[in-house]
Every structure is written in C-alpha cells, then in structure tokens.
C-alpha cells in the first residue's frame, strides 16, 4: 500500500492514538499523580471521547479531521487539553484544503503547533513537559522532508520517544510538576509520553 497523508490515514492515526492512549491510560494517570494533580489521564480520555463525537460528522480531509481533534481538545478541562488543542489546530491549518498532504506540510504544522505551546506555556526543552517530546519530533520531521511519510513519522516517533525518556531524570521547571521539585525526579512526564504515543500511532497507521 502506498503511504498517503489523506483523510483515511488521519482517521486511522487518530483511532490508533486513542487505542494506544487507552492502553497506557492507567500508567499516564499514575505518572501524573506522582508529579502533578493526577487528572491527566481523565482529561485526555474526555478529550478523545469528544473527538469521536466530532468525527461522527465525517470530515472529508486530513485538515478537517485534525480541526475536529483540535476542537475536542480545546473543549476539555485542565492545562493539557487546551495546549494539545492549540497544537492540533496549528497542525490542521498547515495541511492543504484538499488531500493529500505531504511531509513538508506535516512538519510545518507540528513546528507551528510546538511554537504555540511554547509561547503559551513558556516551556523549553529540559523543563520536563510535553515540549521535550515535541521539539525533537519537529527536528526529525524537518530532517525527513523529501522522504516518504513512513520514514518521516517513524523518525518523529523515535525522536519523541527519546525526548519523553529524557524527562525521567529532570527536575521540572514548568507545569504542575514544578511545584514538587525533586519529588518528580525519576518520573516520566506524562504529556511528553502522550506526544510520543501520538507519533508512534501515526507511524503504525500508515501501515493501514
């Protein structure tokens, strides 16, 4: 099967992310309890439930699919929901109005979304937030422009996973975990882990 960044792929990507999140939800919740207020898993589950409601309208392009995802996350409580919502909004707006998208447009959307998250939250790499996975994924996607979607998303997933793993030994300087200082050292950041899950789901979704 030829890998194409179109509506059907976007739906598979979102569905795969929802499945993978549900599998890891208990772990993400425990990580957030250890370093935050423990609502991360519940908030993302709520957002993904709203995603399915909006996708019932059957959006016809990849751009429209991610616009629906953005709206669902923006309609979710907590801090992470709106931040992911803005991230997905930038991703959506970078994609063309007609399918298919290409890797360059995908990379631009992720870059713009990450810049928005950083601007709103003030986080940089090393602050123990979702940005620690987002920024490496941007770099990997940018480096992979000119390659196929499968290679690009696999590279982004690997970079995001490495970024998420790096948060374990960090002391948080942003987000709820920053309130507990050294207590959060040794705890993976759940937001960064969710970003890594998202990109790995995308790489898997390209396999159909």
SS3 (DSSP) at 147:
strand
User: Which are the contacts of 156, defined by CB distance < 8 A and separation ≥ 6?
Assistant: 110, 137, 140, 141, 144, 199, 202, 203
- Examine residue 126 and state whether it is found in any structural domain, yes or no: yes
Look at phi and psi of residue 11 and say left if phi exceeds 0, alpha if psi is from -120 to 50, else beta. alpha
d(CA 181, CA 204): 36
CB-CB neighbours of 82 under 10 Å: 18
CA angle 180, 121, 71 (to 5 degrees): 115
pLDDT given at position 108: 98
Q: What angle do CA 41, 164, 7 make, to 5 degrees?
A: 70
> Is residue 158, in this structure, part of any structural domain at all?
yes
Does 2 map to a domain?
Answer: no
Cα–Cα distance between 205 and 11 in angstroms, integer? 9
What pLDDT, on a 0 to 100 scale, did the predictor assign at position 133? Answer: 98
In this prediction, residue 49 carries a pLDDT of 97
> Residue 180 in contact with residue 35, Cβ under 8 Å?
yes
In this structure, the number of other CB atoms found within 10 A of the CB of residue 23 comes to 10
Nearest to 174 by CA among 100, 119, 99: 119
Whether 118 is covered by a domain: the verdict is: yes
Task: Look up the CATH number of the domain holding residue 107.
Answer: 1.25.40.340
**Residue 1, in any domain of the structure:** no
pLDDT tens per residue, the chain (208 residues)?
457 899 999 999 999 999 999 999 999 999 988 877 788 999 999 999 999 999 999 999 999 999 999 999 999 988 889 999 999 999 999 999 999 999 999 999 999 999 999 999 999 999 999 999 999 999 999 999 989 999 999 999 999 999 999 999 987 776 655 545 565 677 899 999 999 999 999 999 987 5
CA torsion sign, 27 to 129 to 90 to 143? negative
Length of the chain measured in residues: 208
Structural domain total, the chain: 1
Residue 79 maps to a domain? yes
Range of the domain at 19: 7-207
Please report how the helices 131-143 and 190-205 are oriented relative to each other, as an axis angle in degrees rounded to 10: 30
Q: What is the pLDDT of residue 184?
A: 64
Q: Which of 191, 146, 142 is nearest to 43 (CA)?
A: 191
């Amino acid at each position: 099967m030829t890998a194409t960044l179109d509506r059907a792929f976007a739906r598979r990507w979102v569905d795969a992310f929802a499945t993978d999140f549900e599998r890891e939800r208990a772990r993400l919740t425990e990580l957030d309890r250890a370093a935050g207020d423990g609502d991360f898993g519940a908030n993302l589950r709520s957002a993904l439930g709203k995603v399915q409601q909006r996708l019932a309208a059957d959006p016809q392009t990849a751009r429209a699919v991610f616009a629906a995802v953005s709206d669902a996350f923006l309609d979710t409580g907590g801090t992470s929901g709106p931040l992911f919502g803005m991230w997905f909004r930038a991703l959506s707006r970078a994609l063309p109005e007609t399918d298919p998208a290409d890797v360059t447009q995908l990379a631009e959307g992720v870059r713009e979304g990450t810049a928005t998250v950083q601007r709103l939250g003030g986080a940089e790499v090393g602050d123990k937030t979702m940005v620690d996975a987002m920024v490496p994924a941007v770099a990997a996607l940018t480096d992979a422009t000119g390659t196929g979607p499968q290679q690009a998303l696999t590279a982004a997933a690997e970079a995001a996973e490495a970024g998420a793993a790096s948060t374990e030994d960090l002391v948080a300087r942003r987000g709820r975990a920053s309130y507990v200082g050294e207590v959060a050292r040794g705890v993976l950041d759940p937001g960064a882990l969710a970003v890594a899950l998202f990109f790995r789901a995308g790489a898997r979704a390209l396999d159909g």
